[in-house]
Amino acid sequence: GENVEQHPSTLSVQEGDSAVIKCTYSDSASNYFPWYKQELGKRPQLIIDIRSNVGEKKDQRIAVTLNKTAKHFSLHITETQPEDSAVYFCAGGYQKVTFGTGTKLQVIP
């Protein structure tokens, strides 16, 4: 089955700086890669997703890139704000998605 690895496990950035979270996957059949944000005690929220026929997707301060050859994808958050502090999960798969282990992002005001 699919195996998704996520790095780093924790990330601290100054407000206004950029944050990058990286994930790798193992199954070449995987064609869908969503990213979720989960605040403490709350449900995961879909923040952006990308399909395997696209190399990059942007939504305001958030962007995701996908390298199918290398089987890795990344989340980029620019101009970070304190409210971006949360745990971020990458996921990947075909008919079912496998989640990464999460990155705890702390944005320091």
Partner 1 sequence: DAGVTQSPTHLIKTRGQQVTLRCSPKSGHDTVSWYQQALGQGPQFIFQYYEEEERQRGNFPDRFSGHQFPNYSSELNVNALLLGDSALYLCASSLSAGNNRGQFFGPGTRLTVL
**Closer to partner 1 at the Cβ: 43 or 109?**
43
Burial class of residue 83 (count of CB atoms within 10 Å of its CB; 0-12, 13-18, 19+) = exposed
Q: Which of 46, 56, 58, 61 touches partner 1 (CB under 8 A)? A: 46
Q: Which of 3, 45, 67, 81 touches partner 1 (CB under 8 A)? A: 45
For residues 36 and 43, the answer to whether their CB atoms sit within 8 Å is no
Q: Distance between CA atoms of 94 and 31, rounded to whole angstroms?
A: 5
- Minimum distance of partner 1 from residue 48's CB (angstroms): 11
Span of 28-36, 52-60, 65-73, 74-82 interacting with partner 1 by CB under 8 A: 28-36
- Which amino acid is present at 93? G
